[in-house]
Amino acid sequence: MTRIRVPGDKSISHRALMLAALGRGTSRVRGILQSADIEATARVLRALGATIPPLDASELVIEGVGLRGLQPPSVPLDCANSGTTARLVAGIVAGAGFDAEFVGDASLSRRPMGRVAAPLRAMGIEVTRPEHGGLPMRLHRGSVQGVTWRPAVASAQVKSAVLLAGLVGNVPVEVQEPVPTRDHTERMLQARGVDLRVEGDTVSLLPAARLDAADVDVPGDPSSAAFIAGLAALGALRREVRIENVDVNPWRVGGFRALRRMGALLRYEDEALQGGEPVATVVCGPGALQGISIAPEEVPSLIDELPLLAVVAARAAGETRVTGAAELRVKESDRIAAVVSGLRAVGVYAEELPDGFVVRGSDRPLTGRVVTHGDHRIAMAFGVLGAVPGNAITVDDPSCCAVSWPSFWDDLQRLTHD
């Protein structure tokens, strides 16, 4: 049986750096994801006066400056390609009352920031953005007020921005979600002594005098692990694979549930709690794959895995239909269009829906070149499909995987030749 560990969870890595910077005392972060997106968060926190060491150490030792210890930035906050950096740090900056400009690369600059600007405005912060609604975005100096925010679209990033604004601004906040989203921010704040309560779809945070430092062991990213699980489900590996120390937070494992419904072998072993997060070894293998329907209520728990599920569907019997996933159109690329055009380019029937896609499986060899639009999840998904014996698929920009998994291609090569 093959064993592998995937890179540290991206969502937890972002939050671990931010909360370590805001904590009072020494925090140790082990297993952090070393990628372009996490480098963006480290760079932005340094611009706000935090001392963040280089990310290439196995353990980062961070001396926090405290909830009121950040400094106004003297340069624009460059978030590169990281939407999580831009949206969560916007909450921190709003709470601190700083004047700051957020900038990013061409892809991030096109992505919507209105969902985070709206609650910050409701909290009394002036936010200016370009007409197209993306970056650059400027937050103007001011004092935040408490808010009860009811987003029209569920978003863990927006929820986290509001919670962080309340935390740093020392005001009470409440977020009433239309459907639950990933709860890493809530778990990590509670572990640091913050009075945060979750009741049904409502998350409430009361003012905190301080944020305790805490050590973090970052578990493996389930979104990255899903690519290995998909590889195993498609029969591209010679044996079962054990993906060790994976975060199996219930709001993050919809991709695993979908693979299981499609017929893949997938089970958890060695389940445990690690810093408030459930972790497990995920054991994966091939199965007789069948197409499935993915309903809107499932989408928040597998939004990042949908490109992978689309390529698995290309080898499943029958039709796979995804609806309620319009959010895919405003990711690093229009992932609905990118998935459908990529599948068509290699000979698979696929069609776009306004809020999803339809894929009909094929058992014939698939060949062709896929345009990734610089999107790491598109590149990795078609890398997985290309690794299936008999297929010959290339992608135009393999380097874009550095956003979340810099060693993806090396790991893929090792796994498929093990």
Q: Is the N-terminal amide bond of 136 cis, ω within 30° of 0?
A: yes
**10 marked as binding residue:** yes
Does 304 qualify as catalytic in the annotation?
A: yes
From the candidates 9, 37, 217, 304, which is the catalytic residue? 304
**418 marked as binding residue:** no
**329 marked as binding residue:** no
**11 marked as binding residue:** yes
**157 marked as binding residue:** yes
**331 marked as binding residue:** yes
**111 marked as binding residue:** yes
Catalytic residue positions, numbered = 304
Q: Which residues are annotated as a binding site for 3-phosphoshikimate?
A: 10-11, 15, 155, 157, 304, 331
Q: Which residues are annotated as a binding site?
A: 10-11, 15, 83, 111, 155, 157, 304, 331, 335, 377
Q: Which residues are annotated as a binding site for phosphoenolpyruvate?
A: 10, 83, 111, 157, 335, 377
